[in-house]
């Protein structure tokens, strides 16, 4: 069987190499590619996607996996080889349902749609993006049709990002969470609002960039295996554990965008840099799910980056970088960066309201998949739900339905992973603080090596070996649970707002 395992790993390495090339093409498209390159980039991505699909769905590969099944059953179920075979079979069974020509068409359509989304967001013009989105939704329905009927058609999409998670599971979690978050927001609204006006003033862009670099270097981001660039929408991408890239955006008159966006993406990137070297160029060199991935980014952005101990260390450095903050006390700054206020833009939302942005998107996506909401009605539906959930109405499409790039990439089923990541991060944080009881003091001293080492050992090194719920259960003793997150929010904001 060792010869067959060798064959499997060689095939997986080929697929990983193609996936890495696609990742770099996608990174380039969002950063340095000329605007006229979208069509050819779509063709290039389509060709590579087709090649990967053909290799990963070939009858010979399927035969190899059938031959390896008995071997996998004889192994420790948590061993690398057993998990490698398990996920290869899962991926094969899913991929063989999708025709190669569909993979090519989807790559070409989404490349053009992504370019159109960026252009029309700049113009705040949904009408000209609408044909692209209608085509993507048509493709999404076709994709669902390749699979056996599920409990809900949205299950097929969700499974791409949160394996084995069901629409009903996510709805149940959100149903338990929503009233508690709404109650908290109402309680905060009844208190005197904190002042964050000092965050809305000119901040030198290069100095912002330099401060962000200082912070994430202290976190442990490995610059020999990564880099940072600018993009309209921050993201993380990479071709291997030795090439994990991040992007950020810098607002000239608002400090939070660069500051917390950079921390957020670094959380993703350090997860990518932390996979076990033994998993490199295999199907396990990835995150357990996007929800688990998001738990890493939200942890570094919020649980670390918006904490008081963090700023007790870094605030004097920030004041030195920006003298206009010297008259702003640490307490005022800390409260300002944690201000709770319903807002228009998801990526800039505070912790107390962020999940409501996600719930809104989930409901819209489900309505689209169920055929209850037409693309032409999206801006109106979006604005109505923003008013219902957050009490604000977007003044234009750029700050409304066009603010996210996910749909232009065909990523339906993705959004709920952001809120799930928040919940997982709080569960993990409770466990981490039990095992590193002096963690707040370490953070106060600007030391993050023990935290990163814990994440490396318990999460990063496993890559994709475990299903998300399985991994969370192994570490915390329970599946994804909203209770620790609500405990964290209530404690934090009770102290800030005197609830």
Calpha distance 441→426 (Å, rounded):
19
> ∠ at Cα 133 (166, 385), nearest 5°?
60
Q: 405 near 118, Cβ under 8 Å? A: yes
In sign, the C-alpha dihedral spanning 460, 465, 469, 473 is negative
Tell me which residue of 370, 464, 478, 475 sits closest to 163, measured CA to CA.
464
105 catalytic residue (yes or no)? no
- Cβ-Cβ contacts under 8 Å for 371 (sequence gap 6 or more): none
Distances (CA, A) of 436 to 46, 298, 324, 343: 47, 19, 36, 35
- Going through 430-489 in order, the beta strands assigned E by DSSP cover none
Helical spans, DSSP H, in 274-372: 290-298, 308-321, 330-337, 351-369
Spatial contact of 471 and 288, defined as CB atoms under 8 Å apart:
yes
Which of 184, 190, 186, 193 has its CA nearest to residue 487? 184
Which of 265, 294, 301, 351 is catalytic? The answer is 265
Q: Is 312 exposed, middle or buried (0-12, 13-18, 19+ CB in 10 A)?
A: middle
Q: Which helix (H) or strand (E) holds 129?
A: helix 126-145
Distances (CA, A) of 54 to 69, 226, 281, 312: 21, 31, 18, 54
In sequence order, what are the residues at sequence separation of 6 or more whose Cβ sits closer than 8 angstroms to the Cβ of residue 478? 427, 472
The catalytic residue positions are: 265
């Amino acid at each position: 069987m060792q010869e067959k395992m060798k064959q499997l790993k060689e095939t997986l390495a080929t697929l990983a190499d193609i996936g890495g090339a696609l990742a770099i093409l996608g990174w380039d498209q969002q950063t340095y590619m000329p605007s006229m390159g979208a069509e050819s980039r779509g063709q290039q991505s389509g060709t590579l996607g087709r090649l990967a699909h053909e290799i990963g769905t070939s009858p010979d590969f399927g035969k190899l996996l059938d031959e390896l099944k008995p071997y996998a059953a004889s192994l420790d179920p948590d061993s690398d080889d057993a998990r490698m075979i398990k996920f290869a079979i899962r991926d094969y069974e899913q991929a063989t349902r999708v025709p190669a020509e569909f993979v090519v068409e989807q790559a070409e359509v989404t490349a053009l749609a992504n370019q159109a989304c960026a252009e029309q967001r700049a113009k705040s013009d949904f009408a000209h993006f609408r044909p692209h989105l209608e085509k993507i939704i048509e493709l999404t329905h076709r994709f669902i049709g390749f699979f056996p009927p599920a409990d809900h058609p949205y299950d097929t999409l969700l499974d791409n990002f949160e394996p084995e998670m069901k629409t009903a599971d996510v709805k149940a979690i959100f149903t338990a969470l929503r009233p508690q978050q709404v109650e908290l927001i109402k309680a905060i609204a009844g208190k005197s609002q904190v002042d964050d006006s000092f965050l809305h003033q000119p901040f030198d862009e290069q100095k912002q960039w330099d401060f962000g670099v200082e912070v994430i270097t202290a976190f442990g981001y490995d610059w020999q295996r990564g880099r940072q660039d600018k993009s309209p929408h921050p993201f993380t991408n990479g071709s291997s554990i030795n090439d994990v890239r991040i992007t950020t955006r810098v607002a000239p008159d608002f400090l939070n965008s660069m500051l917390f966006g950079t921390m957020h993406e670094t959380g993703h990137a350090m997860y990518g840099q932390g996979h076990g070297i033994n998993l490199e160029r295999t199907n396990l060199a990835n995150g357990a799910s996007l929800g688990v991935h998001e738990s890493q980014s939200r942890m570094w952005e919020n649980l670390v980056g918006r904490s008081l101990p963090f700023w007790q260390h870094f605030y004097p450095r920030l004041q030195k970088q920006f003298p206009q903050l010297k008259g702003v006390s640490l307490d005022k700054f800390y409260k300002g960066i944690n201000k709770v206020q319903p807002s228009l833009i998801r990526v800039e939302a505070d912790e107390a309201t962020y999940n409501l942005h996600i719930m809104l998107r989930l409901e819209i996506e489900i309505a689209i998949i169920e055929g209850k909401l037409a693309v032409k009605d999206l801006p109106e539906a979006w604005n109505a739900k923003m008013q219902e959930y957050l009490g604000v109405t977007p003044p234009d499409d750029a700050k409304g339905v066009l603010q996210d790039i996910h749909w232009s990439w065909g990523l339906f089923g993705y959004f709920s992973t952001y809120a799930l990541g928040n919940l997982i991060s709080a569960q993990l944080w409770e466990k981490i603080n039990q095992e590193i009881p002096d963690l707040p003091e370490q953070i106060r001293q600007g030391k993050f090596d023990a935290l990163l080492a814990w994440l490396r050992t318990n999460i990063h090194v496993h890559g994709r070996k475990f299903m998300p719920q399985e991994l969370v259960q192994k570490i915390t003793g329970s599946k994804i649970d909203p209770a620790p997150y609500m405990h964290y929010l209530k404690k934090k904001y009770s102290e800030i707002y005197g609830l």
